[in-house]
C-alpha cells in the first residue's frame, strides 16, 4: 500500500477537515477524495491546527504526545492499522480523544496466515521446497520427515478477534487449544489462563508455553506486553516447541529468540513481524527451521478494501454525530 505522492488537496471550507499524518495510499484516496478536505498534519498552519478535529493515520506513522498537543480541537484519531502501538494512547486518553482502528478488517487474513505459518513450520514446507528446487530429491533422496499438525497443543496469547479465529481454525485440525488473556472468554470452549500481563505475566505465559507444542502470538503490543516472550517462556516451550508471531515483533525478546534457536532451546519459529522492521536478524536467514515473511499477514486485496470501508465509515460517523464503528477502549 504505497502512499500517493501528494496530500489529497488543500483545505476546503465546504467539506469536513481531516488532518493526514502522511499521504493517503491511492485506493484510500480514491474513496475519500471529494468527501473530505485534507491538510498535512506536519505542515498545518495556525488556523488549520486550531480547527482540526480529526487526524487520519495511514500505515504505522508515529503519533506522539507532542503531535497530539499541537491540535487543541482534536477529538478523534483514525488508524488504518489493527495495532495502535504507534499512537500515544496515554496522550489521547488525557485529552479525551477517541481512537479507532481497523482490526476487524484484518482479523480473518491474519488468522489464515498464522495457521499457514503453523503448517509451514511443522511440516517444513519451505525447507522441503528449497531442497527440491536445489535438485536434491533426485540426488539425495527424500527430505527428512516433518511432524503432523493435527492434535498439537496450541497456546494462543491474546484471544481477541484474531486469536479467536486462529483458535477456531486450528481446533478444526483437532488441535487442543489453550489461551492467555486479560479476561476470561465465557463463550470460548478452551482452557484459559487468566491474569493481566502486568501481574505475574511471566508465570502465566510460562505455564501456557510449558503446556503447548505451538505458541501463537495474537495480542497487542503495549508497555506491559513488550518482550513478554522472554528466554524463560521459550525454554518452557522447549526444544520441540514452535513460536509463531503475526502480531508485533516487540512482543518477543528478539536477541534471545535468536540464541534459543541457535542453541536448540527452542525448536522452530514462524515469524511475520520483527522488533525493528524492516531489519531482520541476519542469523535467522540461514535457519531451515524458521519460516520468515515480511509483515504480510494482514495484507490482501480483500483486507485493503475492508480497511477503506471501516476508515470511511468512522469518518462519516464522526462528522454526522453517529457512534464510531470501531472505537478502542482507552
**95 an active-site residue?**
no
**161 an active-site residue?**
no
In whole angstroms, give the CA distance from residue 293 to residue 246. 10
- One of 277, 296, 302, 305 is an active-site residue; which one? 277
**86 an active-site residue?**
no
The answer to whether 195 and 251 have CB atoms below 8 angstroms apart is no
- One of 161, 248, 256, 275 is an active-site residue; which one? 248
Q: Which residues are catalytic?
A: 248, 277, 295
Amino acid at each position: 500500500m504505497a502512499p500517493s505522492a501528494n496530500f489529497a488537496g488543500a483545505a476546503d471550507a465546504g467539506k469536513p477537515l481531516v488532518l493526514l499524518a502522511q499521504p493517503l495510499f491511492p485506493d484510500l484516496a480514491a474513496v475519500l477524495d471529494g468527501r473530505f478536505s485534507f491538510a498535512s498534519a506536519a505542515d498545518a498552519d495556525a488556523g488549520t491546527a486550531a480547527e482540526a478535529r480529526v487526524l487520519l493515520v495511514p500505515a504505522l506513522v508515529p503519533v506522539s504526545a507532542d503531535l497530539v498537543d499541537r491540535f487543541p480541537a482534536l477529538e478523534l484519531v483514525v488508524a488504518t492499522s489493527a495495532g495502535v502501538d504507534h499512537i500515544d494512547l496515554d496522550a489521547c486518553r488525557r485529552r479525551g480523544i477517541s481512537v479507532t482502528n481497523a482490526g476487524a478488517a484484518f482479523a480473518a487474513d491474519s488468522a489464515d496466515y498464522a495457521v499457514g505459518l503453523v503448517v509451514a513450520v511443522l511440516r517444513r514446507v519451505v525447507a522441503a521446497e528449497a531442497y527440491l528446487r536445489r535438485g536434491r530429491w533426485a540426488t539425495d533422496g527424500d527430505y527428512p520427515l516433518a511432524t503432523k499438525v493435527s492434535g498439537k497443543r496450541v497456546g494462543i496469547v491474546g484471544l481477541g478477534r484474531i486469536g479467536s479465529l486462529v483458535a477456531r481454525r486450528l481446533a478444526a485440525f483437532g488441535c487442543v487449544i489453550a489461551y492467555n488473556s486479560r479476561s476470561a472468554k465465557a463463550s470460548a470452549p478452551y482452557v484459559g489462563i487468566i491474569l493481566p500481563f502486568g501481574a505475574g505475566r511471566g508465570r502465566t505465559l510460562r505455564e501456557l508455553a510449558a503446556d503447548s507444542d505451538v505458541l501463537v502470538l495474537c495480542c497487542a503490543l503495549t508497555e506491559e506486553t513488550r518482550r513478554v516472550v522472554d528466554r524463560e517462556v521459550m525454554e518452557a516451550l522447549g526444544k520441540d516447541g514452535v513460536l509463531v508471531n503475526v502480531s508485533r515483533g516487540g512482543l518477543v525478546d528478539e536477541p534471545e529468540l535468536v540464541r534459543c534457536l541457535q542453541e536448540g532451546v527452542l525448536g522452530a519459529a514462524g515469524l511475520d513481524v520483527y522488533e525493528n522492521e524492516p531489519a531482520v536478524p541476519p542469523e535467522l536467514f540461514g535457519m531451515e527451521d524458521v519460516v520468515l515473511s515480511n509483515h504480510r499477514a494482514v495484507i490482501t486485496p480483500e483486507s485493503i478494501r475492508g480497511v477503506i470501508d471501516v476508515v470511511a465509515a468512522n469518518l462519516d460517523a464522526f462528522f454526522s454525530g453517529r457512534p464510531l464503528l470501531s472505537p478502542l477502549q482507552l
